[in-house]
Amino acid sequence: MKKEDTVKLISSDGFEFVVDKEAAMVSQTIRNMLTSPGSFAERQHGEVTFPEISTTILEKICQYFYWHLEFASGKDREFPIEPELTLELMMAANYLHT
């Protein structure tokens, strides 16, 4: 995996997720951060920190990114959501436009 094809997503507790850029860009918010012109640090370093999103939730979100890509390629299986995560996950999804 070439570095420029990936992006590092960092949770509030400092945990780092390295994911394909294509996956991360499922989120409209991350897409904007990585592509809009200007000197976003995110764009330069391929790193985005989410001080409001916990590791558990960010992991779930990364899973969703890949699930979304699979869906687009025709794989239709259920995306499991643990009931205790739903509210927090929903707020994050709302923030990430995902």
Partner 1 sequence: MTYFDYGNISSMGGACSRKQERNNEDGLCRGFSRKFCKCGSLKWWTSSFSYSSMDLRIQKGECPSLLDLCIQKISEDLDRHNTFSMLPRDISQQIFNNLVYSQRLTRGSLETFRDCALQDLYLGEYAGVDDSWMDVISSQGSSLLSVDLSGSDVTDFGLTYLKDCQSLISLNLNYCDQISDHGVECISGLSNLTNLSFRRNDSLSSQGMSAFSGLVNLAKLDLERCPGIHGGIVHLQGLTKLKSLNMKWCNCITDSDMKPLSELASLTSLEISCSKVTDFGISFLRGLQKLALLNLEGCLVTSACLDSLAELPALSNLNLNRCNLSDNGCEKFSRLENLKVLNLGFNDIGDTCLAHLKGLTKLESLNLDSCKIGDEGLVNLTGHKHLICLELSDTEVGNNGLEHLSGLSSLEKINLSFTVVSDSGLRKLCGISSLKSLNLDAYQITDAGLATLTSLTGLTDLDLFGARITDVGTNYLKKFKNLRSLEICSGGLTDAGVKNIKELSSLMCLNLSQNSHLTDKTLELIAGLTGLISLNLSKSRITTAGLQHLKTLKNLRSLTLESCKVTSNDIKKFRSIHLPNLVSFRPE
Quick check: 77 binds partner 1 (CB under 8 A)? no
Chosen residue from 9, 48, 58, 61 binding partner 1 by CB under 8 A:
61
Quick check: 55 binds partner 1 (CB under 8 A)? no
Q: CA 24, CA 13: separation in Å to the nearest integer?
A: 19
Quick check: 71 binds partner 1 (CB under 8 A)? yes
Smallest distance, partner 1 to C-beta of residue 55, A: 17
Quick check: 83 binds partner 1 (CB under 8 A)? yes
Which residues in this chain contact partner 1 in the complex, by CB under 8 A? 61, 64, 68, 71-72, 79, 81, 83, 86-87, 89-91, 93-94, 96, 98
